[in-house]
Amino acid sequence: MMRESYEAIVIGAGHAGCEAALALARKAHKTLLLTISLDAVAFLACNPSIGGTAKGQLVSEIDALGGEMGIVADKAAIQIRMLNRGRGPAVQSLRAQEDKTLYHTEMKKVVESCPNLFLKQGEVENVRIEGSKKVVKTAVGDEFESDVVVFATGVYLDSRIIIGKYTESVGPNGFKNAKKLSKSLKELGYELLRFKTGTPARVNARSVNFKELEPQFGEEHIQTFSFMTKKKIKNKALCYLTYTNPTTHEIIKSNLDKAPAISGEIVGIGPRYCPSIETKIVRFADKDRHQLFLEPEALSTSEIYIQGFSTSMPTEIQRDMIHSVKGLENAEIMRDSYAIEYDCINPQQLKLSLESKLHEGLFFAGQINGTSGYEEAAAQGLIAGINAALKLENRPPLILSRGDGYIGVLIDDIVTKGTNEPYRMMTSRAEYRLSLRQDNADLRLTEKGKEVGLVDQKRYNTFLKKKELLKAAEQLLNQKLKIDEKTVNFFKKYEENPPKNSISIKEAIKRPKLDIFKINDEFKIFDNFPENVLAELNLIVKFEGYLKQQKEDIEKSKRAEKEIIPDNFPYEKQKGLKIETIQKLSQIKPENLSQASRISGVSPADIAVLSVLIKKFKGAKK
């Protein structure tokens, strides 16, 4: 039996595992990254895309902190566009179609070439605690010990795929699964949940009648995920839109008894916001059609992903469903759609640092925490990796608040409230979303990445340059526009009433039909500044009042975060708190008053009483 020592071990090399391992290794900690298959490293097992509503914000936040997903996503993108263009900046998010083969290859290359990082194929069967050491044992009997372990096992824990009545004990895409690690986690005291997700069929592009479909074009000259990407992304592929129809719906309705998601064959809880097509038909019976997007999987393959058509129906019914759709009448199915069930832990067993409350030095990240999505996984992986490294360095953990970023919202939600279904990030979950835009992720988080030692000097210099340019551009806002014929005609051109007296550029930008770009086109005041700086400044001016209010709200929330609750605070001995409140607080063990206030069933009155009790407790200890 072989036994090797490392400072850190990361179990699983999906999106969470790669970010965690890279963070640890880049901070000079000898790290072992164990994966069940080297072919599954950073594999896009479901949709071939990165980003999307709220998810685009997560990717740019990962990038600002020194993570890798945004850089690789930019390299592998074959089409990119901004979602929700017709709505406000608070809900606009970048989304890119990825060449899934290139994405896997590029991320694997980064992992393999990273100093201090050792990538190895092996199925982990058992993790045990020996004093301060954690011992990881693989299926072949090898053992590896370390001071910290990050669990990033994705959907591989005792997973099984379901197609009609057919089931198979495997992971996504037919990869081997982890059959025994769930038992080990139970023995360590973790409560396991059973969740479900799914993926649609893939069809051959040569069999699709694209002439009958609506093309979905990418955008040119658009921002990238990474603040370090210099070249604009070229759109190399087209997506297409089609719809289900009454015939499709009738096929599904007449075969609901064969749908595992409806019949009870599937026991795992599925995602409410990304349901199977049969669940959609039942839940939204009044709708006569549902959108389907046809997305290329890669430039090197003819496989087309049918987004919105996830199902676990038997294959012959899948075929009839697909052939009933316009443009897919003769579609050749290359990969059948399937549902996948898997084990995950109750995330309420974690601290805000993603370290376990049960065992010091064990961290959890990604879909093992009950979340869904590549971006949510990568965000957690980065934070778990950073905090595992800080643990090794005897430094306090990095805790992102809800006012810091979407990553803070994500982690606070799952740790404080838990989840009874696969958790998906949405803009509606972030109360400060106007302040947490994708374009300003670097301004919000790069300093934090620098403080924890993950942002290198090159990235930091890029950040400082942007700040410098933004400050210089801001100083020009007070310049006055003289009221002459040119200025009057400019205002009339955009159907704005010309001012009677000279007006500052800042006041002009605030006009509904004007912006900094129109003003610059006419008066050439900001010609020396890049587009991203001008876009940032335009938003700051346009939404000045709202941003000021949100800043005050964020500061108020952060003051509550500074009221730390001692680890050994005896809730059960406190008078003045309801029994239900004591039970909830004892279970979650919130780290501060702000987190305590978000626990379901804990009222503002409870928080007021708790604040007084904590002060008394701290005073008595002194």
> Which secondary-structure segment (H or E) carries 86?
none
Give the count of beta carbons closer than 10 Å to the beta carbon of residue 257: 7
DSSP-derived 3-state class of residue 25: helix
The torsion region of residue 189 among left (phi > 0), alpha (psi -120 to 50) and beta comes to: left
Angle between helices 55-64 and 374-392 (to 10 degrees): 30
C-beta neighbour count of 479 within 10 angstroms:
12
- Residue 421 has what pLDDT? 92
Residue 87 near residue 250 (C-beta atoms within 8 A)? no
Least Cα distance to 172 among 183, 185, 186, 157 occurs for 157
Give the span between the Cα atoms of 58 and 375, in whole angstroms. Answer: 6
Question: Hey, what amino acid is at 523?
Answer: F
Helix (H, G, I), strand (E, B) or coil at 436: coil
Q: Enumerate residues 6+ apart whose C-beta is below 8 A from 78.
A: 96, 97, 98, 99, 235, 236, 237, 296, 298, 299
Which DSSP string do the residues of 254-292 spell out, in sequence order? TTGGG-HHHHSS--SBPPTTS--HHHHHHHTTT-S--EE
CA dist 236 and 78 (Å) reads 5
d(CA 194, CA 205): 35
pLDDT at res. 464? 97
282-289 long-range contacts (CB < 8 A, ≥24 apart) are 282/256, 288/245, 288/246, 288/249, 289/243, 289/244, 289/245, 289/246
Say which CATH topology domain 202-341 has.
Elongation Factor Tu (Ef-tu); domain 3 (2.40.30)
| Res 617: pLDDT | 86
Instruction: Judge contact between 518 and 528, C-beta under 8 A.
Output: no
Q: Boundaries of CATH 1.10.150.570 in the chain?
A: 562-621
Residue 140 exposure: Cα atoms within 13 Å on the Cβ side: 9
Q: Are 139 and 36 in contact (CB under 8 A)?
A: no
d(CA 409, CA 401): 7
- The position carrying tokens 């000898």 is 30
Q: What's the whole-model pTM score?
A: 0.95
What's the chain's Rg over C-alpha atoms?
A: 26
Q: In the chain, what are the helix, strand and coil shares in percent, each to the nearest 5?
A: 40, 20, 40
* pLDDT at 148 (0 to 100): 98
**Beta strands 214-216; 333-335: pairing state:** unpaired
- Tell me the C-alpha distance between 537 and 130, whole Å: 55
For position 1, what pLDDT does the model report? 65
HSE value, Cβ hemisphere, 13 Å, CA-based, for 184: 19
- Write the pLDDT tens digit of every residue in 271-319: 776 788 998 988 888 899 999 999 999 999 999 999 999 999 999 999 9
Arch. (CATH architecture) of 467-550: Orthogonal Bundle (1.10)
Contacts of 318 (CB under 8 A, 6+ apart): 201, 311, 333, 336, 337
CB 111 within 8 A of CB 123: no
Measured at the alpha carbon of residue 362, what is the angle toward residues 358 and 368, in degrees to the nearest 5? 90
Q: How far is CA 226 from the centre of its chain?
A: 15
Alpha carbons 130 and 307: distance in angstroms, whole number: 46
pLDDT at residue number 259: 87
Q: Where in the chain is the domain with CATH 1.10.10.1800?
A: 467-550
Q: Give the model's pLDDT for residue 622.
A: 66
Intervals of CATH 2.40.30.260 along the chain: 202-341
Helix (H) or strand (E) holding 446: helix 441-451
Q: What span, in angstroms and rounded, lies between the C-alpha atoms of 126 and 180?
A: 7
Fold observed for domain 562-621? DNA polymerase; domain 1 (1.10.150)
Among 52, 176, 50, residue whose Cα is nearest residue 121: 176
For the chain, residues with pLDDT lower than 50 are: none
Dihedral sign for Cα atoms in the order 281, 283, 285, 287? negative
